[in-house]
Amino acid sequence: MIHRERVADDVYTFQSDVYAQVNAGAVIGQDWAVVIDTLAFPDETLAIREFIEEELKRKVRYVINTHYHADHSWGNCYFPGAYVLGHALCRDNLDKYGQKSLSRALETDNVFQKTQIVLPHLTLDSGVLELIVSDKTLRFVELPGHSIDGIGVYVVEDEVLFAGDVWMPIPHTVDGDPDIMRQSLRKIESMTIENVVQGHGEVILRGEVGSSINDRIAYLDMIEKIVEESSHDDFPGEFLKEKTVEICGKSRILLGGAAEEIHQQNLRHLYREKYNEDPNYLDS
Ligand SMILES: [Zn+2]
């Protein structure tokens, strides 16, 4: 069952119980509501909709995708009357890769049988866009780095930021860029924040914002250093494998146990990017 939390009046988060502690959110207006990200598994998405429609008696009018990845956008289709909003590059990427990865997922998991890829109807590129929901202003903030299309949603009156995956317990850079991620995190640091809803994991409170950003940036620094060191080894793949997530100061139980996998993906990806080849393993 999804875990629901109220972070401010009429502002909620919903955390997946089945996939990597991914978060969605909702802002509830007088007559209608906005959903921020959708989770991936239909049952969980439908539980969010049921809460908003049945318990709070509001229709979902807008769904915002912070980026195009499956765990944030595959639930779009379960809000059939809503307008979907995302970065123009979110629409491009979902258009390019969404159907392919859905078909791949369907080969092993028929839970997605009724899922359809719904592309954003409204897109933003640069400049300022605000969505007014009764007495709340949702301001869109470009936050690339985890992916090129990343946006955050800042609830101005409550100083709550839905950051998307640019902010996770362990940075994930495989589809992004560490430098751009650092810039986005520094940009968040300059904002006035009461709570940050990370793309995955626990809500960050005001007093933890600075240290949490420094922690993410320290991790990025460290994986870059490790990749650089690995290049001097005969078997960089083995070298990277030994540099576990714990060595990089992170617990392996983060993200529902996906931490080490994500960490190793980061290392291998960075290596490939930097040296234009796969890291060499003993058995290959
Ligand atoms: Zn993502």
Tens place of pLDDT per residue across the chain (284 aa): 799 999 999 999 999 999 999 999 999 999 999 999 999 999 999 999 999 999 999 999 999 999 999 999 999 999 999 999 999 999 999 999 999 999 999 999 899 999 999 999 999 998 899 999 999 999 999 999 999 999 999 999 999 999 999 999 999 999 999 999 999 999 999 999 999 999 999 999 999 999 999 999 999 999 999 999 999 999 999 999 999 999 998 988 888 888 999 999 999 999 999 999 999 888 76
| Per-residue model confidence (pLDDT) at position 73 | 98
CA distance 202 to 163: 12
Centre of ligand 1 from the C-alpha of residue 139, in Å: 20
| Per-residue model confidence (pLDDT) at position 284 | 61
| Per-residue model confidence (pLDDT) at position 196 | 98
| Per-residue model confidence (pLDDT) at position 256 | 85
Centre of ligand 1 from the C-alpha of residue 246, in Å: 22
Which pair of tokens denotes residue 61? 């009018």
Residue 69: CB atoms within 10 A of its CB come to: 27
| Per-residue model confidence (pLDDT) at position 282 | 80
3 state DSSP class of 272:
helix
DSSP β-bridge partners for residue 213: none
Centre of ligand 1 from the C-alpha of residue 165, in Å: 5
| Per-residue model confidence (pLDDT) at position 198 | 98
CA distance 158 to 272: 42
Contact 196, 161 (CB under 8 A): yes
State CA 164 to chain mean position distance.
4
| Per-residue model confidence (pLDDT) at position 283 | 72
Centre of ligand 1 from the C-alpha of residue 114, in Å: 22
| Per-residue model confidence (pLDDT) at position 182 | 98
Q: Which is it for the CA torsion 51, 208, 142, 91, positive or negative?
A: negative
For residue 282, give the H/E element and its range. Answer: none
| Per-residue model confidence (pLDDT) at position 261 | 94
Centre of ligand 1 from the C-alpha of residue 284, in Å: 30
| Per-residue model confidence (pLDDT) at position 50 | 98
